[in-house]
Structure 1
Amino acid sequence: MKNRINRLVLKVSNGKIRFSEKAYIFLLCLLLSTFFWFLSSLSDIYTTTLSVKLKYNSLDESFILTEEPPKQLSFKARSSGFELLGEQLSLNRNEVEVNLQDAKSEKNNRFFILTSVVKPSIREELDADIELLDLESDTLWLSTEERLKKKVKVIPQVDLSFKSAYKLRSKIELNPKTVEVLGPKSFIDSLLEIKTVLYKAKNIDDSIKVKLKLIAPANVNGFRIEPEEVDILIPVEKYTEKQLTVPVKVNNEMSQNLIIRTFPDEVELTFLVPISKFNSLSASRLDAVVDYNKESSKSQKLKISLQNLPDYAVLRKIEPERVEYIIRK
């Protein structure tokens, strides 16, 4: 029996085993019969489950949805197989609007909408030959929260490296420095800042202007930043070394009858300054100060602190860092 089947289905040609002509005819007949059976089945009446996409609108501006509402609604429908198959394809391309003004309050910012409200809209989407039976859910649940708006500061995130002798001339400039954020009150209340995406640059030898997007927090429904990006200026300049001699000043002398004298009475200061500001930094605008009251009574030297140093200058060295002193009447 097995050999007979093999002879009907297979044949040998040029040493190769192939399907016989009878096998191909059999497969063709099988495919045609399956196809006609499928067409015949589609003409029968069926009850099946279809689904429609939902679109929500008309939410009060003072509230925000804190959880994703149901995105689709399933329902039972009855019609021929042809109609049901084509209808689901059509429903996949359309949406049924859900008016949030129809929502009813339960408690704690929980609302619900009876699906019977949207049933007429679903029926309008269906072909006239399709009978809408039951909706699989009788209620759409919604979670809302008060919407809050406030301004927060922007924090730039940068990873920079400079060519030799080049540095930031001043702080990175932002425009705007603050942005407006909108979102659920429980989240916005504790939000203090918004960061930019990370900006990386190497071997910098000139100022950089760039727009950076702001990072919105993940998984916070209804969160929005206005504007969504900021302009950033990274001021860069070549620096050079500058030395100044500054007299030592004494703060908080012991009394009017007692005078503190330091040795030496001047200190040498070494700075790095931008070339454009080289002549702007002078000894007259700087104060090298000692404070007797901040030192231990056993200390034989007073520490020098520098005051009124402009932002663009970088102090490299104070020589000496501490000075000897005597107290005279």
Structure 2
Amino acid sequence: MIQNIINFLKNRKRFGAFALCTLLAIMAWLLVILGKTYITQLSFPVTFINEQNNYLLNTNETDIIQIEVKGSGFNLLRSNFINEHTPITMYLTKLLKTTNEIELNLNSEPYISSINAQIPYGLSIIRIQPNAIHFTLRKKHSKRVPIKFSALLSYAPKFFITEPITIQPKTLELFGDSIALSTIKEVSTENFTQKNLQANVAQTLAIKLPEGIKNISANVQKVYVSIIIEEFTEAKFTLPVQVTNIPDKKTIKTFPDKVPITCLVPLSKFKQVTATDFSLIADYAQVSISENNIKSNYNNKLKLLLNKQPSYVRNVKLSTEKVEFIYKNNVH
């Protein structure tokens, strides 16, 4: 039994020594392999920066460049661990000339040096594809357009806005191609949805530029929106009926001569509102009266019209929409 244990321990020592030698051999092999120089191709997104604001640079070509690079296995392995390569930035200010066509040769100086400084350390550039990128130079134009508040709002019962919704600023200036700008009439905010509102709203919203239109920018990215909300309460008044357009030789009397109304008024203004803030009229011009009969279908009734009311009052309801009337000729 003891001899078996001794043999097992000896075998474990031999296996451990073998495993260590194997591991050291693999590491030595990797050092040799990774120390060699290799050539491979990497993909990089490229961003073109135009610092001259008076012009637009348009290109229909790719915004991805393929760079053939040379480097040690260590550096290439490290580069492959980067999931997304940092975009290559190209400044085009020095390219702007009087001509409308520009060709950017990526395989020439100073672009090779500029790109080389932005790729992972230890790699050197052999070749860049595409070899050249073509741009069209266009004059940049501007246009001022209104900003539309894009919203879906609902209010709690008896809560309403008491003032027009304010947007600051109300307009913005767009910059871009003249043809593209001509198709834009307004710019909207991001969608804003609120339900069962019971309090004032003060919100900063981003601007949404029209989709599908390239090379458009704006001098405003966000707007401030203010919504004033207040609770309303019911108010009741009795208004006299005023008949208008009465012929000089006639006297008109309505039945009733006063009509009750109900309306919703902001709580803050409830004590300020009186019956004199309203005007209720019945226009006699609705009918044509001869001496003996009425030549209309009004059946001796006049339709009532609320001619005046405070701007902040809502949901005005008349107890009746029409009043009866009689007339008599004045005797001189």
TM over 0.5: yes
Q: 1:153 to 1:47 in 2, by over 3 A?
A: closer
- Does 2:67 align with 1:75? yes
More displaced stretch, 304-313 vs 258-267: 258-267
Aligned letter for 1:210? A
In 1, distance between residues paired with 2:202 and 2:313? 25
1:132 to 118, 122, 125: 125
The number of aligned residues is 304
Aligned letter for 1:299? Y
Identity of aligned residues (%): 18
**Which residue in 1 is equivalent to 2:162?**
170
1:157 to 146, 151, 157: 151
Q: 1:234 to 1:21 in 2, by over 3 A?
A: farther
Alignment RMSD (CA, Å): 4.3
More displaced stretch, 82-91 vs 207-216: 82-91
Q: Deviations over 1:242-276 (max 9, x none)?
A: 2222223325x5x6556665433332222222233
In 1, distance between residues paired with 2:116 and 2:268? 75
Aligned letter for 1:248? Q
In 2, distance between residues paired with 1:67 and 1:267? 72
- Does 2:27 align with 1:35? yes
Residue aligned with 1:210, SS: strand
In 2, distance between residues paired with 1:27 and 1:149? 75
Does the CA-based 8 Å contact 2:155-2:197 persist in structure 1?
A: yes
Aligned letter for 1:97? M
Aligned letter for 1:270? T
1:283 to 245, 250, 275: 275
Q: Deviations over 1:119-157 (max 9, x none)?
A: 342345679986633221022245777453414144262
- Could you tell me how far 1:280 is from its partner in structure 2? 3.1
Q: 1:174 to 1:24 in 2, by over 3 A?
A: farther
In 2, distance between residues paired with 1:291 and 1:316? 19
Does the CA-based 8 Å contact 1:195-1:214 persist in structure 2?
A: yes
**Which residue in 1 is equivalent to 2:314?**
314
- Does 2:243 align with 1:249? yes
Does the CA-based 8 Å contact 1:240-1:275 persist in structure 2?
A: no
- Does 2:72 align with 1:45? no
In 2, distance between residues paired with 1:77 and 1:213? 45
Residue aligned with 1:320, SS: coil
- Does 2:101 align with 1:102? no
Q: Deviations over 1:19-39 (max 9, x none)?
A: 977766665555443333232
2:228 to 203, 210, 234: 234
More displaced stretch, 63-72 vs 270-279: 63-72
Q: TM-score, normalised by structure 2?
A: 0.69
- Could you tell me how far 1:178 is from its partner in structure 2? 0.6
Does the CA-based 8 Å contact 1:214-1:230 persist in structure 2?
A: no
Does the CA-based 8 Å contact 1:154-1:196 persist in structure 2?
A: no
> Which structure shows the higher strand fraction?
1
Structure 2 unaligned blocks of 5 or more = 6-10, 288-294
Residue aligned with 1:212, SS: strand
In 1, distance between residues paired with 2:260 and 2:121? 95
Does the CA-based 8 Å contact 2:187-2:209 persist in structure 1?
A: no
